[in-house]
């Protein structure tokens, strides 16, 4: 309202006073300069804001460039000298999940990859089935132990009886052998005596001391 009232007063003054010439311009009223300054203030603020925004963007871009310049190397042909740490798992298999990216720093104990456990679950199930089969076989063997033991002891008793019979047979055979040896010796003695009698009788026959019939 104050600016509008000043404008109205200023227009009234222009109508009453004479129009100034081009060579001698009339100085503006005292209230006109503050009005022009007030009209220019929003534009100046706008320019200041734009300049500040541009400066901020330039500062952010400069910081980003400096950060990338010190942290990363950008080149088409580069060689990096570093330590290569070979990694290998204790078991073989297909990788199911990777928990790291290339160039990431890791620590001891970190899970880098997860191996698909499907094949090993199948192997575990197969091993469990084999274990169950072995346990069933062991149970059956335990049940057959009394029968096997009885059969074994029966066979052992039979074998022991057979051994005793064989020993008795061996003893009888030895006795028969001794009797046969005595008979042989007797026969040999008789044969020797018979041979001696034959020689003596032949001599007596030649001397005609006994008859040929004797």
Q: What is the pLDDT of residue 126?
A: 93
Nearest 5°: phi and psi at 96? -95, -35
Q: How would you label 156-180 residue by residue, b for 16+ Cβ within 10 Å and e otherwise?
A: eeeeeeeeeeeeeeeeeeeeeeeee
Burial category of 6 from C-beta neighbours within 10 Å (exposed 0-12, middle 13-18, buried 19 and up): middle
Nearest 5°: phi and psi at 114? -120, 125
Q: What is the pLDDT of residue 12?
A: 42
Q: What is the pLDDT of residue 15?
A: 42
Classify 113 as helix, strand or coil.
Answer: strand
Q: What is the pLDDT of residue 4?
A: 43
Q: What is the pLDDT of residue 14?
A: 39
Mean pLDDT per 10-residue segment, the chain (214 residues): 42 42 46 47 80 91 82 70 74 82 84 87 92 90 81 87 92 92 92 88 80 72
> pTM for this one?
0.30
């Amino acid at each position: 309202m104050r600016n509008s009232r000043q404008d109205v007063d200023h227009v009234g003054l222009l109508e009453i006073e004479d129009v100034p010439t081009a060579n001698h311009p009339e100085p503006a009223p005292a209230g006109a300069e503050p009005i022009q300054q007030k009209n220019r203030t929003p534009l100046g603020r706008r320019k200041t804001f734009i300049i500040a925004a541009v400066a901020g963007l330039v500062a952010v871009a400069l910081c980003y460039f400096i950060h990338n310049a010190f942290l990363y190397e950008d080149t088409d042909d580069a060689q990096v000298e570093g330590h290569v740490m070979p990694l290998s798992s204790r078991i073989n298999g297909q990788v199911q999940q990777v928990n790291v990216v290339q160039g990431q720093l890791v620590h001891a104990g970190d899970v880098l990859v997860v191996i698909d456990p499907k094949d090993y679950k199948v192997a575990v199930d197969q091993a469990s089935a084999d274990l169950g089969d072995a346990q069933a076989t062991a149970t059956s063997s335990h049940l057959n132990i009394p029968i096997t033991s009885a059969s074994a002891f029966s066979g052992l008793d039979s074998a022991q009886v057979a051994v005793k019979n064989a020993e008795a047979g061996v003893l009888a055979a030895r006795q028969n052998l001794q009797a046969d040896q005595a008979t042989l010796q007797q026969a040999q003695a008789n044969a020797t005596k018979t041979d001696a009698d034959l020689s003596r009788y032949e001599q007596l026959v030649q001397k005609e001391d006994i008859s040929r019939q004797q």
